[in-house]
Amino acid sequence: GPAVSPLFDAFFEAVQQAGHPLTTDVNGYRQEGFNAFDRNVYRGRRLSAARAYLHPVLKRPNLDLWTSAHATRLVFDSIGSGRPRVTGVEVVHRGRSRTVE
């Protein structure tokens, strides 16, 4: 969540008095401004998305991690419900094209 401190209120009041805007959505159409930005912290240390979600599952036997792979096409199959569903991804990895299911 966003950082919380009594100093933030004073800081945000000061930047507004200096003529700078506050922003409520840093991902919105107007990103200029000041706000307490979201961050992930675990046991007092900053936690990246990789540490939070990727590292805990890297040893799964059904997971391969490829870096610098470029997805070129999704493979669809509409058997069953008649609605298309993705059953694979065509990728280029290390100069070789392959389909991963």
* pLDDT tens figures, 6-20: 888 899 899 999 999
- Does 45 share its domain with 92? no
Determine the Cα–Cα distance for residues 12 and 48; give it in Å rounded to an integer: 26
pTM of the model: 0.47
Whether residue 53 is found in the same domain as residue 72: no
With a CB cutoff of 8 Å and minimum separation 6, the contacts of 8 are 36
Same structural domain, 52 and 11: yes
* Number of helical H runs and strand E runs in the chain: 2, 5
Structural domain that includes position 70 = 66-101
Give 3's pLDDT tier (boundaries 50, 70, 90).
low
43 and 5, same structural domain? yes
Task: Give the pLDDT confidence of 54-97 residue by residue, as tens digits.
Answer: 999 999 999 999 999 999 999 998 776 678 889 999 999 999 99
Give the count of domains, the chain: 2
Both 25 and 42 in a single domain? yes
- Taking the CB of residue 23, how many other CB atoms lie within 10 A of it? 15
- State the pLDDT at residue 58: 95
Residue 1 near residue 38 (C-beta atoms within 8 A)? yes
One domain, residues 42 and 6: yes
**How many other CB atoms are found less than 10 A from the CB of residue 20?**
13
| 77 plus 54 within the same structural domain | no
| pLDDT attached to residue 1 | 53
